[in-house]
Amino acid sequence: MRLRAPPSLARRFAVLVSLALFGVWALSVLAMGIVLQGEETEFYDEHLAASARAFLSVVDVPDDADLLAPPGAAAPDEPTNPNTEVIYRLVDRSGRVLSVSEGAEHAQFPAQLRPASFQRTATHMVYTSGFNDRGHAVQFADPLVERREAWRESFLAFMLPMLMILPLGFLAMRWVTGLALRPLDAVRAEMAARDAQDLTPIEPQTRPVELADMIATLNGFMGRLSQALDGERAFASNAAHELRTPVAVALAQVQRLETEARSQSERDSLHAVHTALLRMSRLVARLLQLARADAGIGPAAAPVDLTRVLPHVLHEIEAEARARLHTELPETPLLVALDADAFAIIAGNLIENALQHSPPLSPVTLRLSAQEGLVVRNEGAPLALETLAKLTSRFARRDSGGFGLGLHIASQIARQAGMALEIRSPVPGRDSGIEARLRLP
């Protein structure tokens, strides 16, 4: 199952601020809706009252009139819709209806007369005027459906443009957040550009205050880590240096005792000691190489001819093992910006690893060229992908022996020099064997 990438800090900040703005936006829209409804109600009420007073000033109905239709009104061409049009009725002090407009029979008027006041019924907002000199009052009724529809249309006309603020606000916040977090991206890029050996402090003075505090803490951590690593490297280097001389002396003494041994059992015992001391000597050499690799050996200020370094590496290999090597070197110099000792350590480890982990007396191919780099191939059963992935790990030992340091040291030095060490099994084009390839820059 594919894991989802964690959200970025900029996106998280933009989302949280956008949610806060959405809350403010929602409250603002709600308040605007309430204010709009109040303003529209006030406008309609004033219009209703003004219409009622104006109508009452011109209407003239005799006291003994009994007309339910407006005086002199003709039959309408189209029926009046009481849900959309204002209707009225004329009443006297007793509440008797003297005249009504078309459609008033479908409207609900209040049961009690309250002169000069507004009354809400289930269908209309009704304004009752005061009584005139003849004792007449007029009731004007405005349909509530019409008022609600007018408010809804006005509110939607206001809210729809406001909705565009949400995505635009999110995009604006994402852009502003990206700008605000650029110093953090600069620190991240600076840290990513460093290798494992660069633990120098980061300059905090030019950073924002929040980042300066974090950088100061990070600098303190890197300082403590640098001290610990320096102590570890110094211990490994000093211990290896101190062990080289006594191990060499012990080897010489054991070799002399082997030649002077009088019985086969003594020679066998001394040979076992000799083998153990040789293994210890190789371990000491690996520890010295590991200390140099941890110190950052790799790049060189000037190009080095690798065709002149490789023969010195081969000279250090025992004659019996050297006889198994099939070497192909270029006829012209191969200049590479790589420290000579670094290349010697890489080549020596790759060759010794191939000799040690291949079947006895089987050939090992060594090829150096500008196109392919340094290629070392040996025979053997193909390795599983899980084993290949762990070969360059520190102390990744195999059943055929070794300390699990050679390929790790070679890989670390190659990485520090800007190169890549590739290990493949089986050998390309075959069904067996192992190939180690150092890609030159």
Per-residue pLDDT reduced to its tens digit, 361-418: 899 999 999 888 999 999 988 888 888 888 887 766 655 556 667 788 888 888 888 8
Using the predicted structure, report yes or no on whether residue 309 has a pLDDT greater than 60: yes
Specify whether 289 is located in the same domain as 311.
Answer: no
* Predicted local confidence at residue 75, as pLDDT: 45
Q: What is the mean pLDDT of residues 201-227?
A: 75
Specify whether 157 is located in the same domain as 246.
Answer: no
User: Looking at the chain, how many residues does it have?
Assistant: 441
| Residue 341 one-letter amino acid | D
CB neighbours of 81 closer than 8 A, spacing ≥ 6? 103
Q: Is residue 19 part of a domain?
A: yes
**Contacts of 201-209 spanning 24+ positions with Cβ under 8 A:** 207/183, 208/183
> 60: buried, middle or exposed (CB in 10 Å: 19+, 13-18, 0-12)?
exposed
Q: Between the CA of residue 349 and those of 215, 237, 335, 339, 426, what are the distances in Å?
A: 39, 18, 21, 16, 20
Specify whether 221 is located in the same domain as 326.
Answer: no
User: End of a domain among 125, 146, 166?
Assistant: 166
Structure tokens at 243: 């062990």
Q: Which of 69-78, 86-95, 137-146, 291-300 has the lowest mean pLDDT?
A: 69-78
Q: Is residue 140 part of a domain?
A: yes
User: End of a domain among 262, 278, 296?
Assistant: 296
Specify whether 158 is located in the same domain as 221.
Answer: no
Specify whether 271 is located in the same domain as 319.
Answer: no
Specify whether 237 is located in the same domain as 248.
Answer: yes
Specify whether 215 is located in the same domain as 96.
Answer: no
* Predicted local confidence at residue 1, as pLDDT: 44
User: End of a domain among 268, 296, 324?
Assistant: 296
- Residue-averaged pLDDT of the chain: 79
Q: Is residue 424 part of a domain?
A: yes
Specify whether 136 is located in the same domain as 206.
Answer: no
* Predicted local confidence at residue 240, as pLDDT: 60
Three-state secondary-structure class, residue 197 = coil
Q: Is residue 189 part of a domain?
A: no
Specify whether 14 is located in the same domain as 158.
Answer: yes
* Predicted local confidence at residue 153, as pLDDT: 85
Task: Name the DSSP class of 398.
Answer: B
* Predicted local confidence at residue 403, as pLDDT: 62
Contact 107, 122 (CB under 8 A): no
Number of H helices, E strands in the chain: 11, 12
**CATH classification at residue 413:** 3.30.565.10
Q: Is residue 232 part of a domain?
A: yes
Specify whether 328 is located in the same domain as 378.
Answer: yes
Residue 225 binned pLDDT confidence (cut-offs 50, 70, 90): confident
Q: Which of 63-77, 109-123, 136-150, 282-296 has the lowest mean pLDDT?
A: 63-77
Using the predicted structure, report yes or no on whether residue 128 has a pLDDT greater than 70: yes
Q: What is the mean pLDDT of residues 148-160?
A: 84
Three-state secondary-structure class, residue 19 = helix
Using the predicted structure, report yes or no on whether residue 206 has a pLDDT greater than 80: no
Residue 203 binned pLDDT confidence (cut-offs 50, 70, 90): confident
Using the predicted structure, report yes or no on whether residue 227 has a pLDDT greater than 70: yes
| Residue 295 one-letter amino acid | A
Q: Is residue 38 part of a domain?
A: yes
Measured CA angle at 374 (ends 391, 325), to 5 deg: 85
The whole domain housing 52 covers: 9-71+79-166
CB neighbours of 67 closer than 8 A, spacing ≥ 6? 61, 98, 99
Specify whether 256 is located in the same domain as 157.
Answer: no
Q: Is residue 212 part of a domain?
A: yes
pLDDT, tens digit, 9 for 90 and up, residues 30-74: 888 888 888 888 888 898 899 888 888 887 655 554 444 444 444
**Count of the separate structural domains present in the chain:** 3
Q: What is the mean pLDDT of residues 291-307?
A: 78
Q: Is residue 186 part of a domain?
A: no
Contact 184, 211 (CB under 8 A): yes
Please name the residue that has the structure tokens 């600076």. 190
* Predicted local confidence at residue 237, as pLDDT: 60
pTM for this model (two decimals): 0.48
pLDDT, tens digit, 9 for 90 and up, residues 262-274: 788 887 888 788 7
**CATH classification at residue 263:** 1.10.287
Specify whether 237 is located in the same domain as 252.
Answer: yes
